């Protein structure tokens, strides 16, 4: 039976500020770290020896090539090498491919073995400041397994930005559209508040807002955003043009951010946009069911300014 067989529905987890992680290792060394990825970004685990790897000329050194799986050509990324680990020929032969879906981009990550699926509350996910000090850091947050072992969650958006940048947001796309937009005073004078823990996504959003000449304030998780908003006066809250939140964040998930804002009279009318790489229909339905105004996937976040305008108009209508 696959380790991915027993997975709860995303909607049930979201209501409880929970997530499920697929825990895996990238080498046979027993002292090697445990790593994890949200199960809703995974599709399946296949044995690499059963799939012919077609190499690509002049590609990024971490892009090993492609395999064909169910009539789909899937790029294989060398995750161990990205982490500074070199696999032996024997390890490569025994390795597996973890097939993932990021923003609708299907990729395969070379791993050694899938360990198991664990359930965690987002407040058990931690993002030490040391992970945020350098732009080249690959760890985004961590948690502990039952035996106390450290389990690291990687910045998979950074991996994609490094190896397959064409698969991510094009911050220069549709810039001409911004010149034609009639921006309301509340947006021009106000500050959009954004909860996002990926440095790659933070950088993209910063560039987009700078190009639009609009102000924004970033928070590295949902709890920091909520604490900031509820420390404001009611008059200050009323001036917030919009909130943008990721779903997956340490301390507090985006779903909980939506719930808390909608449950309070002073914040219940703030436009909320979910900006996420978890683009499945269940997540969109859950976000909207909790009160989010709209949903955008991270590869399309160059469209976020027109979307803010749209939800502000609907809220004011």
Strand order in the sheet with 18-25: 113-121, 18-25, 34-38, 150-154, 139-144
Between 52 and 180, whose confidence is greater?
52
Residue 296: beta bridge partners? 275
For residues 201-222, average pLDDT: 90
Question: Alpha-carbon distance 145 to 101, whole Å?
Answer: 24
Between 278 and 24, whose confidence is greater?
24
- Lowest-confidence range among 24-33, 113-122, 202-211? 24-33
- In DSSP notation, 136-182 reads T--EEEEEE-TTS-EEEEE-HHHHHHHH-GGGS--TTTTHHHHHH--
- Nearest CA among 118, 121, 137 for reference residue 129: 137
Give me the torsion for CA of 52, 54, 55, 61, rounded to 10°. Answer: -60
Number of other residues whose CB lies within 10 A of the CB of residue 186: 14
Q: How far is CA 230 from CA 37, 243, 265, 305, in A?
A: 31, 13, 11, 25
- Lowest-confidence range among 184-188, 198-202, 221-225, 252-256? 198-202
Kind and range of the H or E run holding 18 = strand 18-25
How many whole angstroms from its chain centre is CA 180? 30
For residues 16-42, average pLDDT: 86
Helix (H, G, I), strand (E, B) or coil at 316: helix
For residues 166-174, average pLDDT: 69
- Nearest CA among 100, 90, 92, 40 for reference residue 69: 100
- The pLDDT assigned to 179 comes to 73
Residue 274: beta bridge partners? 245, 295
Assess if CATH 2.40.50.180 describes domain 10-166. Answer: yes
Kind and range of the H or E run holding 203 = helix 199-211
Helix (H, G, I), strand (E, B) or coil at 88: coil
- The pLDDT assigned to 1 comes to 45
- Nearest CA among 46, 277, 82 for reference residue 167: 277
Domain ranges of the chain: 10-166, 175-316
Same fold yes or no, 10-166 and 175-316: no
Residue 44: beta bridge partners? 99
Q: Are 293 and 312 in contact (CB under 8 A)?
A: no
Between 300 and 23, whose confidence is greater?
23
Given a cut of 70, is residue 174 above it in pLDDT? no
- The pLDDT assigned to 165 comes to 79
- In DSSP notation, 247-292 reads S--SSS-HHHHHHHHHHSTTTTTS-EEEEES---HHHHHHHHHHT-
Given a cut of 80, is residue 166 above it in pLDDT? no
pTM of the model: 0.78
CATH number belonging to domain 175-316: 3.40.50.2300
Question: Alpha-carbon distance 195 to 288, whole Å?
Answer: 17
70-129 pLDDT, tens digit each = 889 999 999 999 999 999 999 999 999 999 988 778 899 999 999 989 999 888 888 776
- Report the percent of the chain where pLDDT is more than 90: 47
When the pLDDT of each residue in the chain is averaged and rounded to a whole number, the result is 86
């Amino acid at each position: 039976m696959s380790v991915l067989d027993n997975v709860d529905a995303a909607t049930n987890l979201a209501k409880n500020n929970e997530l499920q992680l697929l825990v895996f290792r990238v080498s046979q060394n027993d002292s090697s770290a445990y790593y994890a990825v949200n199960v809703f970004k995974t599709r399946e685990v296949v044995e690499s020896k059963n799939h012919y790897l077609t190499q690509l000329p002049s590609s990024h050194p971490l892009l090993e090539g492609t395999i064909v799986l169910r009539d789909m050509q899937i790029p294989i990324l060398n995750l161990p090498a990205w982490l500074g680990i070199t696999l032996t020929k024997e390890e490569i032969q025994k390795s597996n491919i973890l097939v993932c879906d990021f923003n609708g981009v299907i990729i395969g990550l070379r791993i050694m073995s899938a360990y198991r699926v664990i359930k965690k509350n987002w407040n058990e996910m931690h993002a030490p400041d040391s992970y945020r000090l350098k732009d080249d850091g690959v760890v985004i947050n961590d948690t502990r397994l039952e035996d106390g072992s450290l389990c690291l969650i990687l910045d998979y958006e950074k991996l994609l930005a490094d190896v397959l940048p064409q698969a991510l947001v094009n911050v220069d796309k549709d810039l001409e559209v911004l010149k034609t937009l009639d921006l309301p005073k509340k947006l021009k004078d106000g500050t959009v508040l954004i909860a996002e823990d990926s440095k790659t996504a933070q950088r993209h959003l910063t560039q987009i807002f700078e190009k639009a000449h609009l102000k924004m304030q970033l928070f590295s998780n949902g709890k920091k955003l909520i604490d900031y908003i509820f420390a404001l006066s009611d008059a200050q809250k009323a001036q917030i043009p919009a909130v943008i939140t990721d779903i997956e964040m340490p301390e507090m998930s985006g779903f909980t951010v939506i719930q808390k804002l909608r449950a309070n009279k002073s914040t219940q009318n703030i436009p909320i946009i979910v900006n996420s790489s978890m683009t499945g229909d269940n997540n969109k339905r859950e976000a909207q069911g909790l009160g989010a105004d709209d949903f955008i996937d991270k590869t399309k976040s160059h469209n976020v300014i027109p979307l803010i305008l749209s939800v502000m108009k609907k809220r004011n209508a």
